[in-house]
Amino acid sequence: HLCPPQLSVDQSCPTEQEWAGPEALCPGWLEDEVPDGEVAEDSGDPNGATQAYELLQSALRQEGLPHTLDRSAEPRTGFGPLDMTVCILGSPTAFLPVLLEGGTRCPGAMVLCLSPTWATRVPSETSPGAWSLLLSRGVSFEAGGHSTLETFLPPRRANYVTGTFAMGGPESGWVGELARDLDCPMGGSVPLTRRLEDPLLTRWVLAAHANLPVPPTLAFVLASRTDLPMELVAPGVRLVRLEDPRGQESLVQEE
């Protein structure tokens, strides 16, 4: 039974309401006023929640969908460990099709987490050494593309976690940290993403282990790199290790 009955949710089409503003996402963001003409060092949105929320609203508008309703002032209660909670960490746009489809197939189970302040890691009660992810706030999705900003009391336990693990993104750091060593199934991780996004590593795996043709590849890597075999042999792939990239121009030209 993956779709729990809806708890205290109006089943009728929600009426539009104005967003309560960034204060609903990051309380206290206006506490530090700055003189006219100056830029505050602390934007009041250190974790990007407000910006991510606005990005979500823009994406929903482009799809012709209603904006997110803010019901965070009325905490949702009654969630237990057996209630399905699929947590998406990070960018609201990368997984928007998944969130919309999930909201249609299992209303209320898809929850988007836009900030590390919206979730807490606690020691797992079932898997020693692992962690459980508890959501105190999130954007849940319903049928018809409707979404709601909600708070959960007590926090809602994630049963499945995925997100934007790609390196270099503004949210990649906290997403990877929240998703580290969890006790629930996951749709990726930072180490896995790092490997999948490495063209040399993926080409070596495809050529050496799957016998699939890859584009002719000449790769220069530092000798300190340890995630590749010392004697890398693969059809179409040549690896050249450099002790120091400086002063080895002749070797590079020769190769």
pLDDT of residue 172: 63
Q: Tell whether the model's pLDDT for residue 34 goes beyond 60.
A: no
Q: Tell whether the model's pLDDT for residue 142 goes beyond 90.
A: yes
Top-ranked range on mean pLDDT: pick from 78-87, 178-187, 222-231 = 178-187
Query: 168 to each of 55, 88, 174, how far by Cα in Å?
Result: 18, 18, 12
Helix residue ranges per DSSP H, the chain: 22-25, 49-62, 96-105, 172-178, 190-196, 199-209, 249-254
Q: Mean pLDDT, the chain, as a whole number? A: 79
Q: Tell whether the model's pLDDT for residue 66 goes beyond 70.
A: yes
pLDDT tens sequence across 94-123: 899 999 999 999 999 999 999 999 999 999
pLDDT band at 26 (very low <50, low <70, confident <90, very high): very low
pLDDT band at 144 (very low <50, low <70, confident <90, very high): very high
Going from N- to C-terminal start, the domains of the chain cover 46-188, 198-242
112 or 43: which leads in pLDDT: 112
pTM above 0.85, yes or no: no
Helix residue ranges per DSSP H, 95-136: 96-105
Q: 235 preceded by cis ω (within 30°)? A: no
CA distance 13 to 66: 10
pLDDT band at 43 (very low <50, low <70, confident <90, very high): very low
pLDDT tens sequence across 210-228: 888 989 999 888 877 777 7
pLDDT of residue 94: 86
Find how far residue 186's CA is from the centre of its chain: 11
